Chains A and B, each alone.
Chain A
C-alpha cells in the first residue's frame, strides 16, 4: 500500500491534520484509528466547554468531534478504524493491523504522529498500600460511566486535580456517587480554574492542595484511603493524615504523551514534555514525520490541538509537494525563568510562516507577571499576565517580518519576568 500521508490517530489532532492536508492539495491520505470510531478521547468527554475558540460556542466533546468528522467525510478522506499501528520505521513505512486486513505495511511520503496521551497510572505514581480493585485512572472511570454506562464507585476519593479528575468529580456525583475529596500534591491545581468552580465548588467537594494519598486500604476492593498534607519537599507530614471510608480512588495525576511508536521510528523526544522535539513546521528530527496534539505536548484545550494539528497538516502537505525546505539557519527557542518548555524548540526564519505560535507552560503559579521575549539579548515584547498557572497553556506569537530584522541572532529566549 502507498499513501502520500499517513496520520496515526483519528482523534482531534489527526482529524484536523487530515482536513488541512486535504485542503492544501493532498488527496492520498489515510487516517489510522485504533478505536471503533473517529474522535478519540472526545467521545467520552460528554461535558460541555469545547470549541469556544474554534466555533465561538460551547460544545460537548462528541459534538466538537462530530464537526471535524463531518469535514473528513465531506472531503472523502480515507480512514481505517479498529486498526492498530504496530510500527513506524524511520523510512516512513507504517505497519498496521486489524481483524479484516490482517497485518499490512504502508509506504508513506509523510507521517503525522497524532496518537494522543495516556494517564499516569497508580504504579507510575508508586503510591504505597494494597492493590485492590477500585483504583481507576479518571479517564478509565470516564469511559466506564460515559461510554459503557457502568458506575465504578459509590464513595470516591480523587487524587490529582487534573481536568479529567475534576470533570469526573462532578460526573460521578451526578450519577449518584459521593465524592468525598480531591487531593492535590502541588500547592496549586493542575486543572482549569473554571473546572474547579463548576465541578468542585458547585458541589461542595473539598479540594485539599498540598495533599497526597499515603495509604490504600482494602484487600479485595478499596475500603479506605488515607491522605496527608505534604511539606515543601512534597513529603507527607506525619500527623496530618485524613482518613476516608470509601470504595474508589480515582487518579488524575497528569498525562503522558504516548510516544512508543515515535521511539521505534527514532524520533527524538523532549525529556520535559515527553513529546517529539519539533521545529516551526512541527516536523521531528526525521524528515517528513510531523507531530501534533497531545502526543506532542499535553494541551489544556482541544481548540489549541485543532489549531496546532491544522498547521501540522498544512506543513506535511507542503513537504509532500515541495520536499524538504532548505534553510541555512535555525534559531533555538530557549525556555528559562519559569517557562518549562516551548513547542516548537527551533524556528527557521527563512522558511517559517508569517507568524508562528510558540506554546508553553509555566512551572509554578505566577501572579502579576509578564511573558518576555528576547531576540538574542534584546527585549522584543513583554506581555502582562495577571495569573499564569501550570494547568493552562501560554503562548507567544513570533512574526517572520520581525525576525527578519534580526538576522544575526542565535537564540530566542522566552521567560517570565516581573510586570
Chain B
C-alpha cells in the first residue's frame, strides 16, 4: 500500500513527487509512456513567465509568481539550464497601447516588476523588432528553461529520494475504497491511500472516475518551429505579442540551448493525442511572428513540433482535494503558465497531501542532483583529464551538437535512464541538432543495444511500437 500514487510523470507530477520526497512517504509515480517528460512537458514554449499576464487572484497568478521565484535556487540544486533573459510584450502602431497599461496593472497586482519602454530603448535592446513596434512592456524576470532537464531533474531527484517510478504503465481505472484507492493499470494493480492526478490532458478522465464534480479538459494544440543555432541570436529576450483580432499572437524566443523558437499556434482539437503539425499551422508562424520580429530566418527551421495544452473549461488551474473524493488530489488544467508554475504546484500539492496524511519530514532528503556533464563547459586540461579516465568522453557521437559517447552512457545509466532514441536525445541533445539524428541515430542505437542491454529490434524512437528497424536484411 502506497501513501501516495501520482499519475503522470510530466513536469507537474515530477515536481509533486520531488516535493513529497521531502517527507517520509511511500510514494510512486505511474506513467503511461516509456519516459518522463513525454507529453505536454516536452512540447511547449520552454519559458518561465514573469507572471504579469495571469488574472490577479487566480491560482495561475499566484503559482506562476511563486514558481518563477523558485527557479534560480532550483536550477542550482538540480543542475538544469535556466536563464533570466527577460521578456517583452510588444505593441505595434496599429494596436491599442492601453492594453499594455492593463498588463502593467495586472503586474502590480501580481507583484511582478515591469516597465514600459519606448521604441528607441527597445531597438537598442532588440534590433530585430518589427518596424511597427512602438512600445513594449518589459519584464526582467522573464526567463527561459530546458523543459526536459527541468522535468528529468525533478523526477531523478524524487527517485533518488525513494519515490518509485512505474513507466510504460497506463492507468485504466481508479476505484475509491473506504480509506484508500485501487488503481488498475495495464500492468499491476496498485493500492494507495491518496492519489494525485497530474495526468495532463487526461486529468479530466481520471478525476471523473472518482468525482461527481466533472472536469472537462480540452486539448489546445500549439505548433512550433525550432530554428538552427545560427539564428539563436536573432532576439535575446522572449518577444510576446499583444493579443489582437488576429489571435493571441506567437512568441519568438531564444532557447536556453541557443536555438530560436517560434510559436505556438492555438487550436482546440478533439484528439488528445493530436500532436501532429499542419501545413496551415506551420505556415502561419512566419507571417504572425513578423508582426513583432522582423526577418525571422524561417528557412533555417531544423524541426517543427506540436504540443497540447491541457485547458480546463473554467480557465484556471484546478488544484486541491476533490470535495467528494477524500484523498484524491487534482493538479489539473495545467496549461500555460504551467511549466513556470510547476515547482510551486509541487510545493502546494505536496503540502496538501502531507497534511492530509500527517506526514513527517524526511531527514534523509537530499535535494541536490547532478545533471549530465557538458564537457564543452570544461577547459581543455579538464576535458583531457576526463577523457583519460573515461575515454568515451573523447568519442563524439552527435556531430551537430558535439555530444560524446560519455554523455550518452551517463544518460543511459543514471537514475531513470534513457531507453530510447528520444530518451537519449532529450537528456543529451544527441540528435537534436541540424541533421536531426541522420548521422548519430545508428550509433546511438548501437550504444543502447550494448549498454541497456537490449535487442536492436527493440530499440524505439520513444517506446511502444515506435521501432526503428524490423529485422535483418531480407528477413522482414
Task: Please indicate the chain A residues that have their CB under 8 angstroms from the CB of B277 in the complex.
Answer: 128-129
A86 interface residue, CB < 8 Å from B? yes
Interface centre among B225, B470, B475 (most CB of A within 10 A): B470
Residues of A within 8 A of B436 (CB): 121-124
Cβ < 8 Å to A, chain B residues 265-304: 273, 275-279, 281-282, 301-304
Near B by CB (< 8 A), chain A positions 125-163 give 126, 128-133, 136-137, 139-140, 143-145, 147-154
CA distance A108 to B409 in the complex (A): 34
- In the complex formed, the residue of A with least CB distance to B476 is A151
Contacts of B302 in A (CB 8 A): 121, 123-124
Q: Is the CB of B470 within 8 A of A119?
A: no
A103 adjacent to B301 (CB under 8 Å): no
Q: A-side binding surface: helix, strand, loop or mixed?
A: mixed
> Is B469 part of the binding interface, using a Cβ–Cβ cutoff of 8 Å?
yes
**Which chain B residue shows the least CB distance to A177?**
B476
Is B325 an interface position by the 8 A CB rule?
Answer: no
Most A CB contacts (10 A, CB to CB) among B230, B446, B468 go to B468
CB–CB B399/A34 < 8 A: yes
A175-B466 contact, Cβ under 8 Å, with A97-B396, A118-B435, A123-B302: no
Minimum CB–CB distance for B79 against chain A, Å = 23
Contact with A along B225-245 (1 / 0, CB 8 A): 110001000000000000000
The 0/1 profile, CB within 8 Å of B marked 1, for residues 73-108 of chain A is: 000000000101010000000000111111100000
Q: By the criterion CB–CB under 8 Å, are A219 and B273 in contact? A: yes
A103 and B387 contacting across the interface, CB-CB below 8 Å: yes
Q: Answer whether residue B315 sits at the interface, using C-beta atoms and an 8 A cutoff.
A: no
Q: In the complex, are the beta carbons of B396 and A34 less than 8 A apart?
A: yes
Report yes or no: A126 in contact with B470, Cβ–Cβ below 8 A: no
Q: Which residues of B contact A143 (CB under 8 A)?
A: 442
CB of A102 within 8 A of CB of B476, answer no
B396, A221: Cβ atoms under 8 Å? no
> How many residues belonging to B are interface residues under a CB distance threshold of 8 Å?
58
- A220 contacts B384, C-beta separation under 8 Å: no
Q: Which of B279, B305, B387 contacts A214 (CB 8 A)?
A: B279
Contact call B305/A131, Cβ cutoff below 8 A:
yes
Partner of A131, one of B275, B384, B442: B275
Give the contacts of A272-293 with B (CB-CB under 8 A): none
Quote the shortest CB–CB distance from A101 to chain B (angstroms): 8
CB of A323 within 8 Å of the partner chain: no
CB <8 Å contact, A149 and B473: yes
- Answer yes or no: A176 CB below 8 A from chain B CBs: yes
The 8 Å CB contact of B466, one of A121, A145, A221, is: A221
Q: Are A140 and B471 in contact (CB under 8 A)?
A: no
Most buried by B among A126, A132, A139, A143: A126
Contacts known (A84-B399, A150-B456); A132 close to B469, Cβ less than 8 A:
no
Q: Is the CB of A150 within 8 A of B471?
A: yes
- Whether B474 contacts A176 by the Cβ 8 Å rule is yes
| Closest beta carbon of chain B to A243's beta carbon, Å | 15
Collect the chain B residues with CB atoms within 8 Å of residue A149's CB.
472-473
Binary per-residue interface labels of chain B (417-449) against chain A in the complex, 1 for a CB within 8 Å, 0 otherwise: 000000000000000001111110110001000
Determine whether B62 belongs to the interface, using a CB cutoff of 8 Å to chain A.
no
Q: Is the CB of A221 within 8 A of B476?
A: no
The answer to the question of B58 belonging to the interface, with a C-beta cut-off of 8 Å to chain A, is: no
Q: From known contacts A102-B388, A151-B473, infer whether A140 and B273 are also in contact, taking CB-CB under 8 Å.
A: no
Contact of A176 with B468 at beta-carbon distance under 8 Å, contacts A103-B383, A118-B435 already known: no
B115 at the interface (CB under 8 A from A): no
Selected from B391, B434, B464, B473, the residue in CB contact (under 8 A) with A145 is B473
Chain A interface residues toward B at CB < 8 A: 34, 82, 84, 86, 97-103, 118-119, 121-124, 126, 128-133, 136-137, 139-140, 143-145, 147-154, 175-177, 214-216, 219-221, 236, 247, 260, 263
Q: Which are the 10 A-B pairs with shortest beta-carbon distances?
A: A123-B303, A133-B461, A99-B394, A121-B436, A102-B384, A99-B391, A150-B469, A133-B466, A84-B396, A220-B465
Interface residues of B (CB under 8 A from A): 225-226, 230, 273, 275-279, 281-282, 301-305, 380, 383-384, 387-388, 391-396, 399-400, 402, 405, 434-439, 441-442, 446, 456, 460-476
Q: Could you jot down 30 A-B contacts, CB within 8 Å?
A: A97-B387, A99-B392, A99-B395, A103-B383, A103-B384, A121-B302, A121-B436, A122-B303, A122-B436, A123-B301, A124-B434, A126-B225, A128-B276, A128-B304, A144-B442, A147-B442, A149-B473, A150-B470, A151-B469, A151-B471, A151-B473, A151-B476, A176-B473, A177-B476, A216-B276, A220-B462, A220-B464, A221-B466, A236-B279, A260-B400
Additional pairs, 19, CB under 8 Å, beyond known A97-B394, A220-B460: A99-B405, A119-B438, A121-B303, A123-B301, A124-B436, A129-B277, A133-B462, A133-B466, A136-B438, A140-B437, A144-B442, A151-B475, A152-B470, A154-B470, A154-B476, A219-B273, A220-B462, A236-B279, A260-B434
